[in-house]
Amino acid sequence: MADKNFEITHNEGRKRFEISVDGREAGYASYVPREEKVLDFNHTVVDQAFRGQGLSTPLIRAALDWAREEGASVRTTCSAVEHFVKKNEDYREICVD
């Protein structure tokens, strides 16, 4: 991934964070607002052409950092997000069941 230029943007209209590599959409992490201030991160997708490049880590990190800044709690029904939180314990404080 070191030779790739990636950008992460928050597409509020589609309720997801999108990652682009060299200007091409490579994946996204979507969420659904639930109870007040609870976001269910329910789906993470990396396009097959970009898999194995470590793109889900910065994508999920950006999404969870945004949730934290917003003062929101996070539900991790997406297995990729759940796995990320297990490996990065400092995000557990914002997670709910």
What's this model's pTM, rounded to 2 decimal places? 0.93
Averaged over 50-77, what is the pLDDT? 97
Report DSSP letters for 44-78, one per residue: EEE-GGGTTSS-HHHHHHHHHHHHHHTT-EEE--S
Look at residue 64 and tell me if it is in a domain.
yes
Q: Residues, the chain, total?
A: 97
Look at residue 1 and tell me if it is in a domain.
no
Which CATH number characterizes residue 14's domain? 3.40.630.30
User: Is the pLDDT at 63 greater than 60, yes or no?
Assistant: yes
Give the whole-angstrom CA distance, residue 7 versus residue 18: 8
Look at residue 38 and tell me if it is in a domain.
yes
Look at residue 89 and tell me if it is in a domain.
yes
Look at residue 34 and tell me if it is in a domain.
yes
pLDDT in tens, 82-95: 999 999 999 999 99
In the chain, the N- to C-terminal Cα span, in Å, equals: 33
Share of the chain above pLDDT 90, in %: 92
Look at residue 72 and tell me if it is in a domain.
yes
Quote the number of domains for the chain. Answer: 1
User: Is the pLDDT at 2 greater than 90, yes or no?
Assistant: no
Copy the structure tokens of residue 68. Answer: 């934290």
Task: Note down the domain range covering 20.
Answer: 6-94
